A and B are shown apart, each in its own frame.
Chain A
Amino acid sequence: MHGEFKVPKGKLVVVDLEIDGDALRDVRLTGDFFLYPEEALEPLTKALEGAPAGEEEATYEQLIAEAVPEGAELLGFSPQAIAVAVVRAQRV
């Protein structure tokens, strides 16, 4: 399943995932955003792995925001933008 969100005046956020029972699996976060340091991609992705499916945007936004490592910087996107793509990916 695949969801995309282009941040207005920002970057494209793409989420691919599977739904296994009631949990998100095989989550992949990609896009043309900037993220410093680059290694921060892994905790952001892991925050969504196993997260409950069918939740609202705010739930995913909080999960992602809590997973942003100290000192990491997201440029052209945000936890909220990722959450939008996660919700869109689950639309049938």
Chain B
Amino acid sequence: MRDEMERRWKAQDWQLIAPTPRAPAENLALDEVLTVRVGSGERKPTLRFWGWSRQAVILGRFQSARNEINADVAAEHDIDVVRRISGGGAMFVEPDGAITYSIYVPDDFVQGMSFADSYEMFDHWVIDALGELGVNAWYQPLNDITSDAGKIGGAAQARRGGAVLHHTTMAYQMTTSLLGQVLRVGEEKLSDKGIRSAERRVGPLRNQTALERDDIIYHLIGHFRSRFGLADDSLTDDELAEMQRLVESQFSTREWTYFLP
């Protein structure tokens, strides 16, 4: 299976979109735009690293805004509240606090795999690349990357018209205590974790590597490039225009963000 997966990774003509700081709603809209375009064949399989221009809470597709967010804390600290197209849990992101990437690939890439198995497959290269930096990380079902020093990150997927979107966010550093204030974590959610604290054990990559955020990102890019091949690419004017339309019609609207209030 491992050989077959390596073959599938190498069989794609991967394109790289390097990180550029963008508003949270723009990042979410780009995931929709690029997934659909990879599905239709207009764009080749792509690895995109995100840049963050603002702090934000990103809700999962099926989460209740009220249940997950302290709205008064978000308003007081000028935190954007947005909703992504993939399921999973809410995350709080500060511009230099996280490393996020999206992978867009035609769905024959995951042919014959269960959804659960595909989560592991999409992040396997990152776990290897982190190992090269001395981080002992592993995949923890269903959608987490964890390590000796605590949880590093989580992944989520969406599927659109013949393509899979897999995006992963990893903690780089925690500079404020806003996370525990803006996100609500109920007792029930922690009921099978054996802990009662809202502050889950997290192992940010800065603590584990002592590297700058960009150095880690470019190490991940270098690992991917030498292993699977990766051509430098950029977003087209047409893609950026469509992103902007979707920001205005969907991702910055209350109707979308609060469709599950």
Contact = CB atoms under 8 A, between A and B. Distances in A.
B67 A14 contact: yes
B43 interface: no
Nearest to B187: A4
Interface stretch (A5-13, A51-59, A62-70): A5-13
Interface residues of B, number: 28
Nearest to A12: B189
A31 B63 contact: yes
Majority secondary structure of chain B interface residues (helix, strand, loop or mixed): loop
Interface residues of A, number: 25
Given A6-B188, A35-B87, A75-B116, A30 B260 contact: yes
A59 to B, nearest CB: 22
Given A4-B188, A73-B115, A75-B142, A34 B64 contact: no
Given A8-B192, A75-B116, A32 B158 contact: no
B85 interface: yes
A30 B159 CA distance: 19
Contacts of A30: 62-64, 67, 260
Contacts of B143: 34, 76
B222 interface: no
A78 to B, nearest CB: 13
A34 B89 contact: no
B64 A16 contact: yes
Instruction: Give the 8 A-B CB pairs with smallest separation, nearest first.
Output: A32-B89, A34-B87, A30-B64, A4-B188, A8-B192, A12-B189, A6-B191, A6-B188
Interface of A: 4-6, 8-12, 14, 16, 28-38, 41, 73, 75-76
